[in-house]
Amino acid sequence: MDYKCSQCGAEGVKLWRQYNTFVNYIQLMCADCAAKDQKEDISTMTPDGRYTRKEYNIKSDQIRYLVPAVPSDDGSFWGYTSVPQKDVDWWRNLPIRKEKYHE
């Protein structure tokens, strides 16, 4: 599986995906492309991938209707509430962006 943004090609960064979508139709997006797609301000995003969602005034790692894309061993993605802690840690430790893709 290519773990890269389907919009800008960013690799080695946190990616988000659609929720409740067959894996063949999932589009992975980096934070900036996901924010643009969802028309969401992520300027308060912290290194762990969470930001303050203004309409609810809560910290979240979901970018509106997109959830963290955490790959599973079977070539799919973990369900949002089923991700093992080691994989949560893996995703949280990825950088948000690399300047090479968003200058």
Domain boundaries, the chain: 15-93
Query: Which residues, 6 or more positions from 94, have their beta carbon under 8 angstroms from its beta carbon?
Result: 12, 13, 14, 49
Average pLDDT, the chain: 92
Query: Taking the model in full, what pTM does it have?
Result: 0.91
pLDDT band at 101 (very low <50, low <70, confident <90, very high): low
Is residue 72 within 8 A of residue 90, CB to CB? The reply is no
8-state DSSP, 84: -
pLDDT in tens, 39-85: 999 999 999 999 999 888 999 999 999 999 999 999 899 999 999 99
One-letter amino acid for residue 24 of the chain: N
The pLDDT tens digits of the residues spanning 7-25 come to 999 999 999 999 988 888 8
The mean pLDDT of 85-99, rounded to a whole number, is 94
66-68 and 15-18 beta bridge pairing? antiparallel
- The amino acid at 25: Y
